[in-house]
């Protein structure tokens, strides 16, 4: 959080604010947070009630309550700098009337030394499903005295500034889930190699046959390869999008900057939510490999599953990411950005068709990419029609179908590189490259057909979720 806070101040702060806060935030001498959420204004940030009143010296007195504040209070750093969304008294309702303020836990003197305690206090610590090492706090501003904040950027541009941090945080959330999934998968592989249980299936009738490591059992191998396929593809996807974001910042021309920025912006909701959901599923499947032992606290996979779940909620829940993708992203530049994205997939398909042994799976990815284009057009049109609610009821399945197609693309891309490297590779390297090819074959031949079914369901546009009466959701 500290680096995100520092980045916002670096981009939008005054020279004095940059000098006062940035270095100590980036060095972790001071901590940082992000105060958005209120009990009656969760994802609907525009409904917040925290207020700011301007003082004669140019500072502001803030009053309100925030919840779910990660690292809102602790003694691991000398000071904590809170970026706080609030509405200046008299400004318009909704997100357009929101401003952003720097609220330090301890006031900072002109010479950089810490002064008195500001009146922003932790009023409670929320007990969570996981991530118990991170305090998630309720925060009260101005409850017992004056809470002073300093405007960051311009008035009524709080959401614009905050989204600088939010987009970075969404990428970080995807990375967090990827690391949980990757760690869980590697633990599961190691356990499967060491855990001796059951005879090999070919000797199942021979009770005198020795037991074997569970990695020899077909379903365990399937499960491990399922996990591996997602971990490999998710890692490549994250790297791909990180490179695009970097190229956007370092571009030599406006055309190059815009091309990379648009792809980065369109795919950010998928990096955030798809990696979060699949990362958590990988953790769950790792527990399955461990069996009953994995459900105990003796093994880390149990903790990783609990800790990873928050990533599907951080920085906007799954449904919010899906709405962003459908309402704002796939229609960018009248669909040109989405078409450029599909063209990149087809470019990899063309390379794979020229590679030894990849023609079949290349054809399957080509079919999926073409079908995704048709479904995007279908759901996009429906979102602009009187049946727009039906479209949004299928927005999340569309995000997952798009994510699946990206996974297949990334694995095909990896396989193309592996084929090139395989010829003349050393024995250890050859096993890695062969593993890449088999991983692509597995996902494209076993997971991608399910994705095509998801796309068929989106096209069918079942409206049952909207048509069921509210009372019909009751149970027995």
**Rounded-to-5 percentages of helix, strand, coil across the chain:** 60, 15, 25
Torsion of CA 111, 113, 118, 120, to 10 degrees: 120
For residue 69, list its beta bridge partners. Answer: 137
Please give the C-alpha separations between residue 393 and each of 196, 199, 420, in angstroms, as whole numbers: 46, 48, 43
Are the C-beta atoms of residues 91 and 150 closer than 8 Å to each other? no
Rounded to whole angstroms, the Cα distance separating 107 from 80 reads 10
- Residue 145, by phi and psi: left (phi above 0), alpha (psi -120 to 50) or beta? left
Using CB atoms within 10 Å of the CB of residue 42, give its burial: 0 to 12 exposed, 13 to 18 middle, 19+ buried. Answer: middle
For residue 64, list its beta bridge partners. Answer: 141
Q: CB 381: neighbour CB atoms within 10 A?
A: 11
Q: CB 228: neighbour CB atoms within 10 A?
A: 22
**Phi, psi values for residue 211, rounded to 5°:** -75, 155
Element of type H or E holding 60? strand 60-70
Rounded to whole angstroms, the Cα distance separating 296 from 277 reads 22
Rounded to whole angstroms, the Cα distance separating 224 from 93 reads 51
How many residues make up the chain in this entry? 476
Marked catalytic residue, from 38, 73, 302, 315: 315
Q: Which residue has the tokens 């318009």?
A: 92
Radius of gyration of the chain (CA): 25
Indicate the pairing of strand 211-213 with strand 196-199.
antiparallel
Are the C-beta atoms of residues 28 and 168 closer than 8 Å to each other? no
Residue 48 token pair: 């917040």
Rounded to whole angstroms, the Cα distance separating 397 from 402 reads 9
Cβ-based neighbours of 131, under 8 Å, separated by 6 or more: 306, 307, 310
Active site residue 315: yes
Catalytic residue list: 315
């Amino acid at each position: 959080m500290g680096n995100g806070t520092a980045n916002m101040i670096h981009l939008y702060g005054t020279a004095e604010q940059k000098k006062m806060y940035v270095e100590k935030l980036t060095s972790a001498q001071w901590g940082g947070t992000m105060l958005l959420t209120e009990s009656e204004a969760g994802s609907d940030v525009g409904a917040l009630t925290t207020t700011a009143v301007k003082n004669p010296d140019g500072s502001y007195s803030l009053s309100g309550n925030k919840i779910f504040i990660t690292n809102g209070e602790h003694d691991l750093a000398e000071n904590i700098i809170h970026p706080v969304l609030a509405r200046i008294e008299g400004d318009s309702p909704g997100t357009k009337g929101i401003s952003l303020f720097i609220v330090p836990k301890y006031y900072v003197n002109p010479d950089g030394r810490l002064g008195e305690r500001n009146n922003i206090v932790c009023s409670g610590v929320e007990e969570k499903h996981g991530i118990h090492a991170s305090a998630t706090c309720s925060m009260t501003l101005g409850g017992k005295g004056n809470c002073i904040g300093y405007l960051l950027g311009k008035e009524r541009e709080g959401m614009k500034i905050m989204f600088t941090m939010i987009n970075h945080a969404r990428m970080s959330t995807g990375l967090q889930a990827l690391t949980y999934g990757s760690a869980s998968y590697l633990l599961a592989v190691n356990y499967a190699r060491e855990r001796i249980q059951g005879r090999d299936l070919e000797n199942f009738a021979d009770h005198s046959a020795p037991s074997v490591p569970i990695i020899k059992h077909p379903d365990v191998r399937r499960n491990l390869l399922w996990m591996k396929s997602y971990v490999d593809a998710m890692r490549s996807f994250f790297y791909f999008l990180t490179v695009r974001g970097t190229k956007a910042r370092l571009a030599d021309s406006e055309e190059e900057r815009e091309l990379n920025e648009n792809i980065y912006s369109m795919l950010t909701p998928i990096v955030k939510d798809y990696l979060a959901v699949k990362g958590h599923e990988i953790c769950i499947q790792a527990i399955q490999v461990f069996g009953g032992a994995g459900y105990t606290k003796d093994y880390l996979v149990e903790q990783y599953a609990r800790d990873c779940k928050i990533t599907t909620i951080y920085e906007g829940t799954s449904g919010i990411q899906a709405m962003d993708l459908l309402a704002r992203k796939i229609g960018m530049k009248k669909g040109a950005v989405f078409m450029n994205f599909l063209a990149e997939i087809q470019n990899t398909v063309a390379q794979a068709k020229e590679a030894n042994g990849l023609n079949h799976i290349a054809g399957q990815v080509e079919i999926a990419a073409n079908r995704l284009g048709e479904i995007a057009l279908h759901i996009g049109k429906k979102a602009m029609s009187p049946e727009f609610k039906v479209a949004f009821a299928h927005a999340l399945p569309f995000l997952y179908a798009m994510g699946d197609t990206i996974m297949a693309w990334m694995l095909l891309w990896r396989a193309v590189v592996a084929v090139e490297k395989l010829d003349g590779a050393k024995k250890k390297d050859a096993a890695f490259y062969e593993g890449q090819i088999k991983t692509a074959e597995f996902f494209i031949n076993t997971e991608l057909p399910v994705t095509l079914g998801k796309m068929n369901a989106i096209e069918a546009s079942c409206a049952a979720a909207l048509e069921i009466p509210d009372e019909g959701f009751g149970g027995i």
